[in-house]
Structure 1
Amino acid sequence: MIFLNGRFLAQGLTGVQRYAREIARALDAMVDRPPVALLCPPDARDLDLFPRLAPRIVGTRGGQIWEQWILPRAARGGTLLSLGNTGPLLAGRHQSVVIHDAGAFDTPESYGTAFRLWYRGVQTTLARRGARILTVSHFSAGRIAHHLRIAEPPATLEGGEHILREPADAAILARYGLEAERFALVVGTGAAHKNLAALHAAGGALASRGLVLAVAGAKDTAVFRAGGADLPGEVRALGRVSDAELRALYEAALALLFPSRYEGFGLPPVEAMWCGCPVVAAPLGALPEVCGEAAVPFDPRRPASLGEAVARLADDAALRAGLAEAGRRQAAQFSWDAAARRLLGFIAA
C-alpha cells in the first residue's frame, strides 16, 4: 500500500502544490496502479477531487505537527509518498519524497532564515535516514545530489495540460483593458530568484510599440507598483487569477516573459506552450530542458537583451506563429499521466 501525504490540500496553490494536486489526480484516474490511499490533515480541502484514492482525515492537528508526528503513525505498514519537498523524519527509509529543487541551498536570498534552515535540515536528514529522494527535472537532480551528497535522484518531470481543463475566461481581458497581442504577460511571485526586476529592460520595447505589461500573481510591490510607476509604459497588476483566466491570458498574450534565474522545473512556460503562447526565458536552471528550442532566450547578464527579444516578437508575426507551433510540440512531451507513471515506476524500482 502506498500512503499519499495529503498536506498539500491544506496549503495555498503554488507550483509545488500544483504538482502534488495534478499527480494525485493522475493517480486517481489510473486503473492499473497499485493501491494508493490519501491521508489528509483536518484542514485539508477538495478531497472530493480524488474519490478513488479513498481520502481520509487523520488526527486533529495540522501543519508540521501533523506531517512529522501524526502522518508517519497513520502510514505504518505501507510506503509513504510525499510530493511537496518535505516528509516526516520518523518514517525513515519507508518513504519517498519529491524535492522540487535545491533553492534553499542555491538561492538563500529568496527565503526567510527560519524557512531556509528548516528545509535544509529536513531534507538533509531525510536523505541520511534513507528516504528515497525524487525530483522533477534533471537540473534539480544534479543540484540536490550535490547538496545532499547522494546519487542523482530520478526526475519525474511535470505536466501542463491542466491549463486546458477549463474553457478560457476572456472576461479578464475586458476587465483590465487588455487586447489580443497588445500585451506581454508575466506569471510569478516577487521572490528574488524570479528576477522580476529584469523586466525593467523590456519596458522601453513595450512602451514604444504601445504595448502593456500584465502581471499575474506578483506580490512584491517594491518591483511593481500600481499604475506602473517603476517601468516605462503601463503595467496591469492582475493579482491571483483562476486557471480559466490564466488560459485566456496565455492565449491572447504577445508572449510570456519569464526572466527567472533559477527554476526546479518552470511550470508557467509549459502552461504557456500548451496554450500556443510564445515564451521568452533566460536559459538557466531547468528551463533549457523544459523549453528546448521553443523559447526565445535572453541573457540575464545583459538586461537589454530582454528588450531586444520582446521587440523581435512584437515586430515579427511569423516568428510568433512559429514559436506557438514549436511550443505546442515541446509541451506535448510533458503530461501529468506520464509524470505519475514515472513516479510509480521509480517507487517500485
Structure 2
Amino acid sequence: MKVLLDLQYLNVATTGIKTYMMELAHAALAYPHPDIEWVFSHDPEEQSADQTFKGPQTKIHRLNYHMDYFRWKEFQLPDLIKKHQPDVLICADFVSPAASLPCRRLTVIHDAFFWQMPQNYPKWWRTYFLSLIRKGLKEDTEIITTTEYSRKSLYKYLKKIYPMTVIHQAPKKLANGVDPSFLENHGLKSQQYFLHIGTFDKRKNLPLLVRSFADFLKKTDSNFKLVLAGGAGQSTQMNDKPVVNELVAELHLQDKVILPGYVSDAQVRSLYENGFGYVFPSENEGFGIPIVEAMAFGLPVIHSDQPALMEVAGQAGLAVKTGDQQDLTEKMILLSSENSRLETMIEKGKEQSKKFSSKNFIEGFQTVILKN
C-alpha cells in the first residue's frame, strides 16, 4: 500500500498544524509498517525551514502565497499523484485537490473554527478557504479529525456525511537541552510561576487569564508570576496581544506578567520543567497540545471545561467554567494551597500524557489506511 503525504503547507505552518504534520511524518519513519510504503511530497525539515512566505508580509506577498498554494493543490499535487500512483493521499491541512484522483483521500480537518467563529477571519478569505475545503471532499474521501468534539462539530456544519475517524495526535518532541539563562533573564524562579504557551488568539481567553491572575495575587499575597509565551494572533481579527499589553499596564503587572514572545525548544523545555502549573482557559480548541506537553513534564494543568480539553485532559486536569474569571482565580488559589491535590494531579497527568504517543498516533493512521 503506497501512501503519499502532502507536506507542502509546512512552508508557512507555525502552530498546531505544523506540529501535527511534522510528528506524523516523523512517526511514519519511526514506526514503519510492512504493508505501507510512505512517499513524502517534501522533505519535512527542509519544507519547514523554507522562509519564502514567512515573516512580515505585504498584500502582494500574501497574494503570491495563496496563488502558490492553489497551484500546488490543484495542479502540482495531482501531477505528483500521477507520478507516484499512490493508493492513498493524506492531506493534513484541511484541503485536498478539487480534481478527480485515482486514489483514496484521507483529509485531516482539525477543527470547525472556520464555521464556528467566522468573526475571527477575513470574510473573503474564509469564503475562499471553505470553498477549497468543500471542493476537495469528493470521491473516496475519509475525514480524519483530532477529537470527538471536533468530529461532532464537523458533522454539524458539513452538508454531506463523510466517513470520519478520530485519531489523537502526538505532541511535538522537544529538542534535548534547556536554556539555563532564560529563566534568570526574565526574573523567573522554579515553581514560582503559572504558564501558558501559544498564540494570542482571541479564543485563548488570555485577557481573562491576566485578570484572574491579578485577583490571585491580591487574594494570596504571593510572589508568583505569569508567563504568556508565544506570538501574536494569526490575524488582526484574532489577535489579542494588544489587549493583553494594555491590560498588563492598566493593572500594573509589568513585573508580574512575563511576555517573552516566541520561545525556542530549549526555552520551552526550561519553562515546562520549572513551572508551577499550566493554565489553559481557551474557549474553543480542536485538541489542546499544551495539555499533553505540560502533563508529560509533570506540570499540573488548569483548563476550561471546553469539550476538547476535557477529552484530552481526562480526569487529570482541574477544570474551570469557560469564561468564568472568578472560578479560574479560585482554581489557581486551590492549586497553590493544596499539596496533596497537586501531587495527585501530577501523577495522573503523567499517566494521561502516555496515551498520546507517536506510536499510537501513527497506528491510528495505519489502521485507517489498511482497512479497505
Is TM (by shorter chain) over 0.5? Answer: yes
Alignment partner, residue 296 of structure 2: 274
CA RMSD of superposed structures (Å):
2.3
For 1:222-237, what aligned pairs fall within 5 Å after superposition?
222-225=242-245, 228-231=248-251, 233=253, 234-237=256-259
Counterpart amino acid of 1:37? V
Find the partner of 1:216 among 229, 253, 259. Answer: 229
Query: In 2, distance between residues paired with 1:322 and 1:8?
Result: 40
**Closer, same or farther: CA 138–125 of 1 in aligned 2, 3 Å:** same
Deviation, structure 1 residue 301: 4.3
- Alignment of 1:116 onto 2:126: yes
- The question of 1:67 aligning with 2:67 is answered no
Contact 1:201 1:307 survives alignment (8 Å): yes
After alignment, is 64-73 or 228-237 more displaced?
A: 228-237
**How big is the shift at 1:83?**
1.2
Query: Number of residue pairs matched?
Result: 335
Q: Distance in 2 between matches of 1:179 and 1:275?
A: 17
Counterpart of 2:89 in structure 1 is 80
Aligned to 1:56: none
Q: Which amino acid aligns with 1:228?
A: V
SS in 2 for 1:210: coil
Distance in 1, Cα, partners of 2:40 & 2:31 = 14
In 2, the alpha carbon distance for the partners of 1:320 and 1:187 equals 21
C-alpha distance in 1 between matches for 2:163 and 2:333: 40
Gaps of 5+ in 2: 51-66, 233-239
Q: Does 1:240 align with 2:262?
A: yes
Shift of 1:202: 2.5
Moved more, 267-276 or 32-41: 32-41
The aligned amino acid for 1:211 is F
Distance in 2 separating the partners of 1:245 and 1:212: 17
| Secondary structure of 2:279's aligned partner | strand
In structure 1, what is the Cα distance between the partners aligned to 2:165 and 2:113?
A: 18
Deviations 1:239-279 (A, max 9, x none): 11112211211121111110111111100111000101111
Q: How does 1:141-160 map to 2 (within 5 A)?
A: 141-148=151-158, 149-151=160-162, 153-160=164-171
- Percent identical residues: 26
Residue in 1 aligned with 2:3?
2
- Whichever residue aligns with residue 23 of structure 1, its letter is L
SS in 2 for 1:154: strand
User: How far is the alpha carbon of 1:80 from its aligned partner?
Assistant: 1.4
* 1:44 alignment partner in structure 2: 47
Change beyond 3 A, Cα 1:326–1:161: farther
Q: For the residues of structure 2 that align with 1:91 and 1:184, how far apart are their CA atoms?
A: 50
Per the normalisation by structure 2, the TM-score is 0.83
